[in-house]
Structure 1
Amino acid sequence: MGKQARYAVKSVETAFRIVDALKTLNGAGVSELAAHLDIPKSTVHNYLSTLVQEEFVVKEGSSYRVGIQFLEYGAYARSELDIYEIAKPETDRLAESTGELANLMVEEHGRGSYLYRARGEDAVQVEAHVGTRVPLHTTALGKAILAYLPPERVDEIVDQHGLAPATSRTVTDRDELDEELAEIREAGVAFDDEERLAGLHCVAAPILSTDDRILGALSVSGPSNRIQDERFTEELPRKVLETVNVIELNVTYS
C-alpha cells in the first residue's frame, strides 16, 4: 500500500483491495474474498458486480478474476514514459548480445517496476513479469536507482517500505545499504548476489539524465552458475554500461 492519503475515499480503497485480492488469490469467489479481506459477503458482492459492470473484473461461473482492461491502462502508462521507447531497442540488443535476460526498471511510489524485459537465447524463466513491483533494496536494478535518488527520498522509501529480506542474502541493515549505495555511485554499477531470488545473479547500471536525475536502471540477470567470476564482475558490467551510455545519448538528443 502507498502512503496514506489525508482524506482517503473508503469506497475506492475497498474496490482496489478487492482487485488486489483477486490478483493475489488468482481469482476467487465471493465467500473466499470476504474471508480473505474480512468484509461482509454482501459488500464484496456489490463491489464485484460494479467492477464487472465497468469491465474491470470478469465473472466465470461463481468465480471472479481481474479483467484484461487493466492491461490497456498499464500499456498506456508505459507508453507515456519516454525512457521506455528510448531504452526498449537497446534492451533487446543487450539480451541478444549476452544471451541472458535484460531488464528495464523505473521507480514509482517507492517500489521498482519492471517496465520491459527482453529474453536472450539462454535466458532463464523467472517469476517476475512486466509490471511486477518489487522492493528496491532487493535487486541490483533497485539499488542502482536508490543510489542516485536524493537522500531524503531514500529515507522516505525506507521508512515507508522497510528493508525486509527476500532471501537470506538480502541487505536488511540501513548502514550496510548506505555503504553499498556509495559504492554503486563510485563504480557506476550495482550487483545482486542472490538477494532477490536464490540462484540468480544480476548486474545493473543507472540511466541518468544530463543533470544526473535518475530515469531508471538497466540490468542483465541469469543463473549464478553461469554468471560468475569475471563474467559477473567485469564482462557483463562492461556490456551493461556500454548499453546505458547509448541510451543516455539517445535520451539527450531525442
Structure 2
Amino acid sequence: MSAARLGDTPSRGAAPQPGVIAKLTQIVDLFVAGPDHLRLDEIAALSGLPRSTAARTLTQLVELEWLEHDERGYALGPRMRQVGRRVEGHLPLRSAAADPLHELHAATSAVVHLAILDRGQIEMVDKIGGVRTSTIPTTVGTRYPAETAVCGRAMLASLSPERVDQLLTGGRASGVLHDRLNGIRRRRGFAVTTDDMPWDLRGIGAAVIGPHGPIGAISVGLPGRHAPVEKFAPLLARAVQQTTQRLQRAG
C-alpha cells in the first residue's frame, strides 16, 4: 500500500489530535470549577492528555503567567486573576445600569450601549437594541479607540485636557478633538456623533461620573447619519442619573 500523501483524507478511525489552544483550554478549564491546586498527575488524568504533553503545556502556561506553580501544585496565575478582577469590576456598573438601560431602550426604541474607559480605549460592556440590534455593528466585549465613539468622547470630556493627552498617546489628542471635547463640556456632557467618526449611525452619549472620574458612559444610537438623537437627551440624562444613584447606594 502506498504511503499517505499530503491532502489525503484521514481514515475514519483516526481521532483528531487537539491543537495547542485546545490543550491550553483543557487544562485551564480544570481550575474553573475544580480545586485551587492540582498536581501534574492529576491534571494529566483529568484532562486526558499524556503526562509529557500536560507537563509541556503547563510549563507554557506558567511562563505566560496564566498559571503558577509551587510546592502544592499548579494554581491560577496573576494573569488569570487579573481577568477575573476585570470581569468582576464591571458587575457593579452593569447591575446599577441594568434597569435604566432597559427603560431607556423601551422609551426610545433605539440601541442603547454601556461602555467603560480603559486607558485610551472604550470597552462595550452591554448592548440593548431589540429588533434594531443588528442595525448597529457593535459587540459587547469589543474595544474601540475612545475618540471614535460618543461614549468615549463623553468620558474624555469629563477629564482635564492634560489627562486626555496622557491617555491618547501617539498624537491622537489633536487640537480638533480638544475643541470637540470642549463643546461636549458646554453641552452639559452630551456627546453627539460627528462626521469624523467612522460609524454609519448617529448617537448621543453621556458619562456616569464617580468620585474619581468617569465610571462608564451610556449612549443611545440609531442607524443613519442624520437620525435625530438629540431628542433623547432628557431620557439619557435620567438613565445616567439613575445609574449614578444606584452605584452610590450600592457603594
Residue identity opposite 2:235 in structure 1? K
Q: Residues 202 and 55 (structure 1 numbering): CA distance in 2 closer, same or farther, change over 3 Å?
A: same
1 CA distance for matches of 2:99 and 2:196? Answer: 28
Residue identity opposite 2:122 in structure 1? G
Q: Residues 100 and 49 (structure 1 numbering): CA distance in 2 closer, same or farther, change over 3 Å?
A: closer
Give 1:207 deviation, angstroms: 0.6
Give 1:212 deviation, angstroms: 6.3
Residues 222 and 229 of structure 2 are in contact (CA less than 8 Å); yes or no, is this contact kept in structure 1? Answer: no
2:217 aligned partner:
217
Give 1:213 deviation, angstroms: 1.9
Give 1:124 deviation, angstroms: 4.3
Q: Does residue 199 of structure 2 align to residue 201 of structure 1?
A: no
The size of the alignment, in residue pairs, is 181
2 CA distance for matches of 1:176 and 1:237? Answer: 24
1:54 aligned partner:
27
Give 1:223 deviation, angstroms: 1.3
Give 1:224 deviation, angstroms: 2.2
Q: Residues 143 and 49 (structure 1 numbering): CA distance in 2 closer, same or farther, change over 3 Å?
A: same
Unmatched tracts of structure 2, length 5 or more: 1-17, 30-81
Residues 220 and 229 of structure 2 are in contact (CA less than 8 Å); yes or no, is this contact kept in structure 1? Answer: no
2:56 aligned partner:
none
Q: After superposition, what is the alpha-carbon deviation per residue over 1:84-119, rounded to whole angstroms, capped at 9, x for unaligned?
A: 110122111111111111000001132100011111
Residues 125 and 141 of structure 2 are in contact (CA less than 8 Å); yes or no, is this contact kept in structure 1? Answer: yes
Q: After superposition, what is the alpha-carbon deviation per residue over 1:103-157, rounded to whole angstroms, capped at 9, x for unaligned?
A: 0000113210001111145444333211000000001110001111343331122
Q: Residues 223 and 75 (structure 1 numbering): CA distance in 2 closer, same or farther, change over 3 Å?
A: farther
Q: Residues 238 and 124 (structure 1 numbering): CA distance in 2 closer, same or farther, change over 3 Å?
A: farther
1:139 aligned partner:
149
TM-score between the two structures when normalised by the length of structure 1: 0.61
2:87 aligned partner:
78
Q: Residues 76 and 129 (structure 1 numbering): CA distance in 2 closer, same or farther, change over 3 Å?
A: farther
The one of 229, 232, 246 aligned to 1:232: 229
Residues 105 and 116 of structure 1 are in contact (CA less than 8 Å); yes or no, is this contact kept in structure 2? Answer: yes
- Give SS of 1:130's match: coil
Residues 100 and 124 of structure 1 are in contact (CA less than 8 Å); yes or no, is this contact kept in structure 2? Answer: no
Q: Residues 52 and 179 (structure 1 numbering): CA distance in 2 closer, same or farther, change over 3 Å?
A: same
1:176 aligned partner:
176
Residues 150 and 191 of structure 2 are in contact (CA less than 8 Å); yes or no, is this contact kept in structure 1? Answer: yes
TM-score between the two structures when normalised by the length of structure 2: 0.62
1 CA distance for matches of 2:21 and 2:27? Answer: 10
1:40 aligned partner:
none
1 CA distance for matches of 2:159 and 2:24? Answer: 37
2 CA distance for matches of 1:238 and 1:250? Answer: 18
- Give SS of 2:101's match: helix
Larger Rg: 2
State the superposition RMSD in angstroms. 3.1
